[in-house]
Structure 1
Amino acid sequence: MISKLDLYKVFCMVGKHESFSRAAKELYMTQPAVSQSIMQLERELDIRLFTRTSKGVILTNEGRILFEYASSAMNLIHVGEDKLLKIKNMMIGDLKIGVGDTISRYFLLPYLEQFHKEYPNIKFKIINATTLELCASVKSGEIDIAICNFPIEDSALELRECMDIHDIFVCGNKYKNRCSRPISLEEITKLPLILLESKSISRQYIEKYMLSKGIKITAEIELGSYDLLLEFARANLGIACVIKEFSKEYLEKGTVYKVKLKEEIPKRSIGLCFLKSVSLSPATTKFIEILEHKTDI
């Protein structure tokens, strides 16, 4: 049975051409099928829409009123379909990403740059927050994907690792000699520690690992910025726990020095997460493909 939407498509075409035969030709229908559709719509509305003449048909007064609204509606549908096609073909669209400041600076930027070169018409919306806040934003629909520190335990999220990272301790010149030989984790706790704030996943990972060894750590200084960890260590204010991969510039220049440990902290990773139950937009899918190609997820 022909749908109501199809009936209005036929109605608009007949109203446009004032002819059953020309409407039938444009719609790739038979003329009797077009005539039957108009008759069905008139029966359902209980009103006559066209007046039949020897030259074709003309809209009744009621038909003109309906045609004005129906043609506007059909035009809006066509505009909507056209926009969907443009989104599908990456001609327009949005990419909403959640990411922490550190990962944004030291990991994400090259991928955003490549994506923008390939798809310049896609608009970015970047939200900076902690890992826990980003996971909540993914689940609320505020962002499409989050790139953050692992481990994350949430059954609603699809998790994909992007890059291994290693937590290390670094110091400035003041502590360089003291930390030149391999020291134990217990000895680390006796030094003034500079750590990220307690709600960060990186801080929680270190604390959990230390506790698994029966060691409790406390911060002499707590900071909310990763870059400040390195700067405070450089200024000899204590021993900072940082990520080796994001501290290469400081380490290579000798601005800070890696503290040698008798037992290295196990590696972890950063990765992306998105809702399992929601289909990804074309822009999000393409961005993930770039990440997968570059990082071999």
Structure 2
Amino acid sequence: MEQSLRVFITVAKTRHFSRAAEELHMTQPAVSQQIRSLENRYHTRLLERNNKSVQLTPAGEILLREGLEILNQYARMERLIQDLTHSASGPLSIGASYTFGEYVLPRILSSFCTRYEQIDPKVTIHNTKRIGEGVVRREMDIGIVEGELSHPQLEMKPVADDELVLVVPSNHPLAEQKEVKASELRGERWILREPGSGTREAADRLFRGAELTPDTILEFGSTQVIKESVETGLGIAVLSSWSIRKELLLGTLCSLRVQDVPMRRHFYTLTRATSFRTKAMDLFLAFLRQELRRRTLPSC
């Protein structure tokens, strides 16, 4: 069953029998036999075939979604059993939202991999919502996000503080101030992350708390692009202090606080609430907390 699922998922992803056979190092007739075996098992067609490619039937869509989760469970089961008799080793799938994944995680992972050479981390960076979904579906062992999520299958724990600040170019009229009133921001063009990200959620809270309605909002899916856009004078932004350390040192950006509107949040770890944890997961979570205690928020 496991082998048939792997074959089916490869065909479903490549949309082609010959490409799947090549990727799996199998003959095309052997691939076709595995698919027929599954279709006979479930008494329904899983794929619609034509000369150029294959398409999933509704039953095939279900098998692809659920089959991916089953294979992830197989992999976790094997790692848990190996943990009983071996030292921590093998793959560790980490999902991180953009701010943490791009500006905090790399240094921590570098130290972790030096200490635990037998553990092989794989990192996926996406917005908070997508990371939560990945942990629920067992595509990721651990998630680290900056936005709160509520899901019965997720265990969420704070691991570090994060302060968000107003970011302006160094030649902006407000750049010399450490703190501004919300009324001084009226008429500004805002450059923000997309809905679903933790940073966008913080910006929306700022607008509600300051009773501020932006005239113009530009949405970008990358913190780096937002920083570069602010540097050119395109607009102002709300970003994590962790993400602008280099620009503050270079003097290309300035950070300000908004009077009477605190913007602090937590970074959280996500794990499945009902799953056993591998040794690699426990080691990484302990190491992460230790390293974050040693690191302080950058000075604004």
**TM-score bracket for the superposition, by shorter chain length:** 0.5 to 0.7
Indicate if the aligned counterparts of 1:88 and 1:282 stay in contact, CA closer than 8 A. no
Cα–Cα, structure 1 residues 211 and 260, in superposed 2: closer, same or farther, change >3 Å? closer
Counterpart in 2 of 1:20?
A: none
Cα–Cα, structure 1 residues 151 and 82, in superposed 2: closer, same or farther, change >3 Å? closer
Q: Give % identity.
A: 20
Counterpart in 2 of 1:45?
A: none
Superposed CA deviations along residues 143-174 of structure 1, whole A, max 9, x for unmatched, are: 11101113223343211212211111111144
Counterpart in 1 of 2:87?
A: 90
Cα–Cα, structure 1 residues 87 and 251, in superposed 2: closer, same or farther, change >3 Å? farther
Counterpart in 1 of 2:139?
A: 142
Does 1:284 find its partner at 2:281?
A: yes
SS, match of residue 201 in structure 2: helix
SS, match of residue 207 in structure 1: helix
Alignment of 1:164-175 (within 5 A): 164-175=161-172
Does 1:124 find its partner at 2:121?
A: yes
Cα–Cα, structure 1 residues 263 and 81, in superposed 2: closer, same or farther, change >3 Å? closer
- Cα shift at 1:216: 2.9
Aligned amino acid, residue 180 of structure 1 = E
Indicate if the aligned counterparts of 1:207 and 1:217 stay in contact, CA closer than 8 A. no
Alignment of 1:170-209 (within 5 A): 170-175=167-172, 177-181=173-177, 182-209=179-206
Moved more, 110-119 or 230-239: 110-119
Moved more, 226-235 or 254-263: 254-263
- Cα shift at 1:183: 2.6
Distance in 1 (CA, whole Å) between partners of 2:216 and 2:176 is 22
- Cα shift at 1:207: 0.7
Cα–Cα, structure 1 residues 108 and 118, in superposed 2: closer, same or farther, change >3 Å? same
SS, match of residue 202 in structure 1: helix
Superposed CA deviations along residues 189-208 of structure 1, whole A, max 9, x for unmatched, are: 42111111223121122213
SS, match of residue 288 in structure 1: helix
Indicate if the aligned counterparts of 1:158 and 1:274 stay in contact, CA closer than 8 A. yes
Does 1:250 find its partner at 2:240?
A: no
Structure 1 runs not aligned, ≥5 long: 1-79
Distance in 2 (CA, whole Å) between partners of 1:143 and 1:82 is 14
Structure 2 runs not aligned, ≥5 long: 1-76, 295-300
Aligned amino acid, residue 108 of structure 2 = Y
Indicate if the aligned counterparts of 1:137 and 1:143 stay in contact, CA closer than 8 A. yes
- What TM-score does the superposition give when structure 1 sets the normalisation length? 0.66
- Cα shift at 1:87: 6.8
Superposed CA deviations along residues 205-225 of structure 1, whole A, max 9, x for unmatched, are: 221342244333354321111
Does 1:293 find its partner at 2:285?
A: no
Aligned amino acid, residue 111 of structure 1 = I
Aligned amino acid, residue 137 of structure 2 = S
Could you list the structure 1 runs, at least 4 aligned residues long, displaced by more than 6 angstroms after superposition.
80-83
Aligned residues: 217
- Cα shift at 1:100: 2.5
